[in-house]
């Protein structure tokens, strides 16, 4: 464990001996902060700089939005925690080649957007603002925490034809659990953190952990879904994808990989091929799309198979 992280955890644990509420409040404030902002990587810069940018206001925070194309057949790209829209640089030109318009945003506290904190509610509002701007999305592609947010938005009225969920967190309660484990927090601190999440972020919402769960009420998200997940993902364990498969059944195709982890999976060529093939199945203005059928590979990092039912 990083020494600075260990110090934070031990300080909160020590505080909890005197005041669990104070320790929970401290954990809650850290929980909402992405912390470090992801920078545009050299390999992403060319695509990033080709985007048309605009600004939205989400819960009083300035949010930078991006568009590659003329707006026809928009595909919404949702990044994860401590990430940014430019992480989709490898996918953007492939979507443009299909006649699609990738659109995205840096969530509050991320990338070039304002603010120091963010929540699933702010993601949801940003998605609504993008929907107001571009209309029904041809598809949504999401990564990590963005997957959790995508399912919520789609269940609550966002419109899209297809969904791709890459390395997604499906279980909402997994977020504070993993956060607490990462800091080495005592169970009493985690309990107080969860209480604050329930009462301060989602006051008035019954059964918060079920309501925001991506596997909740699958009938409300009646879309074809491609879930892509690495078997060795140490951030969002593979069980998160299996939960989605169990909930959505034959409507969800699960593609597993090996050796790509949580982040590299998003730009892996075999994964990009599968995403493009899945989105290309949606009928375009000129007729039906086709699928390249990349379904297996040898060696570390290859796509290793899919479970379609």
Q: Residue 246 maps to which CATH number?
A: 3.40.50.1820
Is residue 117 assigned to a domain? yes
Are 83 and 136 members of one domain? yes
Are 63 and 163 members of one domain? yes
Give yes or no for a contact between 130 and 153, defined as CB atoms under 8 angstroms apart. Answer: no
Final residue belonging to a domain, choices 190, 211, 232: 211
| DSSP type of residue 70 | S
Q: Which percentage of the chain shows pLDDT scores above 90?
A: 84
Instruction: Give me the pLDDT at residue 5, please.
Output: 80
What residues make up the domain containing 203? 1-31+173-211
Are 179 and 164 members of one domain? no
Predicted confidence (pLDDT) at residue 58 exceeds the cutoff of 70: yes
Predicted confidence (pLDDT) at residue 302 exceeds the cutoff of 80: no
Instruction: Give me the pLDDT at residue 284, please.
Output: 44
Predicted confidence (pLDDT) at residue 295 exceeds the cutoff of 70: no
Top-confidence residue, 204 or 127: 127
Q: What is the mean predicted confidence (pLDDT) over 26-30?
A: 96
Predicted confidence (pLDDT) at residue 97 exceeds the cutoff of 60: yes
CA distance 246 to 286: 35
Give yes or no for a contact between 34 and 82, defined as CB atoms under 8 angstroms apart. Answer: yes
Instruction: Give me the pLDDT at residue 1, please.
Output: 64
Is residue 44 assigned to a domain? no
Length of the chain: 309
Give yes or no for a contact between 98 and 276, defined as CB atoms under 8 angstroms apart. Answer: yes
Predicted confidence (pLDDT) at residue 299 exceeds the cutoff of 90: no
pLDDT tens per residue, range 265-289: 999 999 999 999 999 875 543 333 3
CA distance 142 to 165: 5
Are 74 and 102 members of one domain? yes
Q: What is the mean predicted confidence (pLDDT) over 118-130?
A: 98
Are 232 and 104 members of one domain? yes
Is residue 43 assigned to a domain? no
Are 73 and 196 members of one domain? no
Is residue 104 assigned to a domain? yes
Give the pLDDT band of residue 42 (cuts 50, 70, 90): very high
pTM of the model: 0.90
φ, ψ of residue 77 to 5 degrees: the values are -110, 120
Return the H-helix or E-strand segment holding 228: strand 225-230
Q: Both tokens of residue 283?
A: 């009928």
Are 97 and 165 members of one domain? yes
Are 297 and 286 members of one domain? yes
Instruction: Give me the pLDDT at residue 6, please.
Output: 81
Final residue belonging to a domain, choices 211, 236, 262: 211
Instruction: Give me the pLDDT at residue 308, please.
Output: 29
CA distance 62 to 65: 10
Residue in 275, 303, 307, 277 with CA at minimum distance from that of residue 166 = 275
Are 164 and 95 members of one domain? yes
Is residue 36 assigned to a domain? no
Instruction: Give me the pLDDT at residue 287, please.
Output: 37
Q: Both tokens of residue 136?
A: 């029904």
Q: What's the total number of domains in the chain?
A: 2
Predicted confidence (pLDDT) at residue 148 exceeds the cutoff of 70: yes
Average pLDDT, the chain: 91
Residue 161 DSSP SS3 = coil
Q: What is the mean predicted confidence (pLDDT) over 225-230?
A: 98
φ, ψ of residue 260 to 5 degrees: the values are -100, -15
Are 163 and 259 members of one domain? yes
Is residue 59 assigned to a domain? yes
Predicted confidence (pLDDT) at residue 173 exceeds the cutoff of 70: yes
Beta strand segments in 244-300, E: 252-257
Is residue 45 assigned to a domain? no
Predicted confidence (pLDDT) at residue 140 exceeds the cutoff of 70: yes
Are 154 and 294 members of one domain? yes
Are 135 and 2 members of one domain? no
Instruction: Give me the pLDDT at residue 293, please.
Output: 36
Instruction: Give me the pLDDT at residue 4, please.
Output: 78
Is residue 91 assigned to a domain? yes
Predicted confidence (pLDDT) at residue 85 exceeds the cutoff of 90: yes
User: What DSSP assignment string belongs to 180-215?
Assistant: HHHHT--HHHHHHHHHHIIIIISTT-SSHHHHT-TT
Instruction: Give me the pLDDT at residue 290, please.
Output: 40
Final residue belonging to a domain, choices 185, 211, 237: 211
Predicted confidence (pLDDT) at residue 301 exceeds the cutoff of 90: no
């Amino acid at each position: 464990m990083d020494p600075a992280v260990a110090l934070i955890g031990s300080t909160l644990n020590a505080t909890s001996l005197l005041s669990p509420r104070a320790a929970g409040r401290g954990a809650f404030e850290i929980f909402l902060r992405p912390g470090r902002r992801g920078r545009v990587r050299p390999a992403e810069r060319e695509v990033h700089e080709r985007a048309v940018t605009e600004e939205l206001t989400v819960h009083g925070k300035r949010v930078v939005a991006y568009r590659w194309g003329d707006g026809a057949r928009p595909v919404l790209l949702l990044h994860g925690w401590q990430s940014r829209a430019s992480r989709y640089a490898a996918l953007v030109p492939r979507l443009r080649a299909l006649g699609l318009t990738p659109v995205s945003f840096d969530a509050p506290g991320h990338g070039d957007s304002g603010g120091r904190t963010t929540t699933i509610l702010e993601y949801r509002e940003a998605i609504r603002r993008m929907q107001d701007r571009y209309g029904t999305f041809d598809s949504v592609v999401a990564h990590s925490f963005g997957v959790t947010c995508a399912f919520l938005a789609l269940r609550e009225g966002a419109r899209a034809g297809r969904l791709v969920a890459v390395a997604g967190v499906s279980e909402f309660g997994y977020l504070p659990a993993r956060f607490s484990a990462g800091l080495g927090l005592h169970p009493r601190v985690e309990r107080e953190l969860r209480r604050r999440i329930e009462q301060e972020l989602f006051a008035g919402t019954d059964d918060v952990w079920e309501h925001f769960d991506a596997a909740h009420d699958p009938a409300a998200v009646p879309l074809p879904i491609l879930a892509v997940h690495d078997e060795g993902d140490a951030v969002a364990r593979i069980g998160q994808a299996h939960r989605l498969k169990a909930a959505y059944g034959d409507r969800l195709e699960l593609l597993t990989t090996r050796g790509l982890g949580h982040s590299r999976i998003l730009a892996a060529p075999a994964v990009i091929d599968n995403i493009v093939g899945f989105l290309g199945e949606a009928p375009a203005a000129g007729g039906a799309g086709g699928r390249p059928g990349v379904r297996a590979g040898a060696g570390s990092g290859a796509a290793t198979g899919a479970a379609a039912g």
